Amino acid sequence: MNIWLISDTHFSHDNIIKYCHRPFRNIYEMDNVIINNWNSLVKDDDLVYHLGDFCFISKNRQLSYKDALVENANSLLDKLNGHIILKFGNHDRDLRKLINQGKIKFYDYTYKEIILENKYILTHYPLETVPDGMINIHGHIHNTPEVCALYDKPNYFNVSIDVLNFYPINFDKVKEIIKNVK
């Protein structure tokens, strides 16, 4: 079993293409590329930590907003390989309510930061300060140059999909990169 990290997929989010200068014509192309990239690496038994901002609604206008979100999230989960643990992000508020109601089935989910190997703190937002000896693996900042520059330090690692060429990244690779930076 491999462990993978990813954040800020923003599946089915029209405006993210413009905001982050994603190289896609539309959400259908974006979603398909991300799904294919994901599944080219992640196997069914692998564990994926998604650090927030999973998806938005599909364009199905025949459904209510909540029903469309449930339909889209579950459809995506059916297509993506691996056991996905969602660390809620700032755009997951409505998703969180529906998950709590049992309408969307992630492998697991959490509001809290996740600690791996007593050294790696997984969060959506980068922490203001990282405890000594720890590494903050985070999302949220996408590929915004001025914000990314603030966290370009050895104790931060950004797994926003926009800086990973739209692929998840293997946890062992992250540890190797961090080791080589120090």
Q: How many alpha carbons lie under 13 Å from residue 132 in its C-beta half-sphere?
A: 0
The type of residue at 21 is H
- Which of 44, 41, 36, 34 has the alpha carbon at shortest distance from 11? 34
8 A C-beta contact, residue 95 and residue 55? yes
Answer yes or no: is pLDDT of 19 > 90. Answer: yes
Name the DSSP class of 166: T
What percent of the chain lies above the pLDDT cut of 70? 97
Tens-digit pLDDT profile for residues 75-124: 999 999 999 999 999 999 999 999 999 999 999 999 999 999 999 999 99
pLDDT of residue 182: 57
Domains of the chain (ranges, CATH numbers): 3-181 (3.60.21.10)
Token output for 11: 């599946």
* H or E, element range at 145: helix 145-150
pLDDT of residue 159: 98
